[in-house]
Amino acid sequence: MRDWRKTALWLGLIGSASLLSLSAMAQTITSGSPQPVLAQNPAEPSFHDVSMPPVTERENTALQAIPVPEPAPGTLDTADLKPAPTIEIPLPDAAPVTALMQRDVLRIAMEGLLASDAAMRDLRLSKKEREALTAFYAQAERPLAWAQDGAFTPAAMGAAARLKAADEDGLDSTAYPLPDLRLRKDAAPAQWAEADLKLSASVIRYARDARGGRIEPSSLSRLVTPKLAIPNADDILKKVAFAKDANAALASYNPPHAGYRALKERLAELRANHPSQPSVRVPKGPALRVGMKDPRVPLIRARFNLKDDRNQNVYDERLASAVAAFQKEKGLPTNGILTPQTVAALSGPSLAQREAGLIANMERWRWLPEDLGARHIMVNVPEFRLQLMEGGKVAHETRVIVGKEQSQTPIFSEEMKYLVVNPSWTIPPSIMKKEILPALANDPYYAARKGYRIIRRGDRIMVQQPPGERNALGFVKFMFPNQHAVYLHDTPNRNLFSASKRAFSHGCVRVDKPFALAEEIMGEDGKWTEEKLRGLIGKGERTVFLPKPLPVHLAYFTLAADEKGGLKSFPDLYGLDQKVRAALNLAP
């Protein structure tokens, strides 16, 4: 391909020279100047010198016998003929030829880079992204996506501005290097091609990262399985490179959700205000009680602005009272003992740690679909809360119980399609192995006492709990088929909802006041009210399909913005926050 291009360029040069020669000849003819006589090689015979066979007498007689017609009446005499008018043939200007040649040179330079393994590796793109990038440039009308006529396009400048501001969205701006945007018009074609390719690669990486491509969520846990919508590299370039507002087009790959935008605002405020860190940081050490000596005591006094006395290293009553007041303010056990938790609270998280917390939560917003659904269910696992959202507002809210640390609730999105009133419960294999089989081994009557039915199918043993008030699923379950076999359901143990930390389940989400939720889910047509649904209790297993599928999002946020502009924090129940921070190289 490249050899053919070079040949075409040489032909273009030859063609251009030929056109210029024709132009000079035409000017000579039209100006009436005498034409140059072509020099004749003396070794070549002239027309008159060519030997011809002699005409025989018989052939000569035949030729003379051929009649020559007289001119027709009114035929013009040769004397009436006038010279033909001069016709000027317009020749192509040299400028379009030069522009065409320049485009071809740029295209050849770009093809050379795309064919270079070393150059492509430097772009830090996946194989699929490199293939899409190559296809984009092969199909493009112009050789460069971000430059034209020796200058970067407005789209290039807009995209560059967004890449420079990547930190605003919790991304790392150093991951998206920019070309020299002051590149001279007369720079070598290879330089322009390299700059164009560099900007394309950074735009692709930004869009990929903005959609959650920095981390493979399932690498953090097999129970974290969101379906990431990573955009195709070809589509990214088509969208951004030719957009009227490339800055906005590139920024649109970040989550559009209100929860994400609120965290982004808090991140900007944190960085703008640069809150002063405690001037005194107390080192870690053993717990201190009144009367104990420790070299950290002067630092603790300084932290509370207490004057030194003669017993500088003694943890006295006055200091213990100040510590107790601080503990009460921070919600810690108020005992005046300088515990490790109190020391950590005294020092407070660093600015980097606070940023890391916001960025880690912003990252998990990227795991959710771009369109959550005009009507959807959001369960925030660390908050132990379910919200039914309609048009961006909370239509229904209730408490939930989630999985224990050893049987965690998975993080993913799916669609709820139906609910079941009076469900039976087939005990999952994991619970069978860990709980039921050991219990049966110790107590042969365990199943009977619990009301379980044992079903044998060949070598397999299944245990099923029939519908009823003792059923572990309660009177209703909400089904959104998924790979983890979890769902929302009622529970006979409703007293557990009074606990502040509600991590008691085997992975499913137990719902407080489930029939109120069911009525909200079934819609406003009044066909399935809470009363009507409750009327099915005790009448056998009954499946009720939703009017249309309802998106369900099981999410994990340890920080959320409140209505007053502050931040609500929740426990890192499964350590997922720390795992995200580590994966992104953020402060622990």
Mark whether 169 and 234 lie in a shared domain: yes
Task: Give this prediction's pTM.
Answer: 0.74
In a domain, 22, yes or no: no
Mark whether 390 and 364 lie in a shared domain: yes
Distance, CA of 555 to CA of 409 (rounded, Å)? 10
Mark whether 223 and 369 lie in a shared domain: no
- Phi then psi dihedrals of residue 425, to 5 deg: -130, 115
In a domain, 445, yes or no: yes
Backbone CA torsion sign across 204, 209, 213, 216: positive
pLDDT of residue 146 exceeding 70: yes
**Token pair belonging to 60:** 């000569």
Last residue of a domain, one of 412, 445, 465: 465
Predicted pLDDT of residue 279: 52
pLDDT digits (tens, 9 = 90+) for 490-535: 999 999 999 999 999 999 999 999 999 999 999 766 789 999 999 9
In a domain, 105, yes or no: yes
In a domain, 38, yes or no: no
**Token pair belonging to 96:** 């379009």
Distance, CA of 34 to CA of 279 (rounded, Å)? 99
Mark whether 501 and 532 lie in a shared domain: yes
Please name the amino acid found at residue 436. I
State the first-to-last Cα distance of the chain, in angstroms, to the nearest integer: 53
pLDDT of residue 32 exceeding 50: no
In a domain, 434, yes or no: yes
In a domain, 339, yes or no: yes
Q: How far is CA 400 from CA 100, 503, 556, in A?
A: 68, 9, 14
Residue 295 CA, distance from chain mean position = 51
Please name the amino acid found at residue 392. G
Mark whether 156 and 190 lie in a shared domain: yes
Three-state DSSP class for 464? strand
Mark whether 335 and 478 lie in a shared domain: no
Nearest to 355 by CA among 247, 268, 416: 268
Q: Are strands 509-511 and 488-489 parallel, antiparallel or unpaired?
A: parallel
Please name the amino acid found at residue 100. L
**Token pair belonging to 508:** 């499913």
- On the 0-12 / 13-18 / 19+ scale of CB atoms within 10 A, 339 is middle
Mark whether 339 and 414 lie in a shared domain: no
Predicted pLDDT of residue 64: 58
Predicted pLDDT of residue 30: 40
Mark whether 171 and 114 lie in a shared domain: yes
Of 84-98, 256-270, 293-307, 492-506, the range with the lowest mean pLDDT is 84-98
In a domain, 87, yes or no: no
Domain count, the chain: 4
Distance, CA of 169 to CA of 267 (rounded, Å)? 9
Q: How far is CA 532 from CA 390, 466, 516, 521, 535, in A?
A: 23, 22, 11, 14, 5
Which domain, by its residues, includes 108?
A: 96-254
Mark whether 378 and 442 lie in a shared domain: no
Predicted pLDDT of residue 57: 62
Mark whether 414 and 460 lie in a shared domain: no
pLDDT digits (tens, 9 = 90+) for 213-227: 999 999 999 999 999
In a domain, 210, yes or no: yes
Alpha helices in 375-494 (DSSP H): 429-431, 437-442, 446-450
Mark whether 313 and 439 lie in a shared domain: no
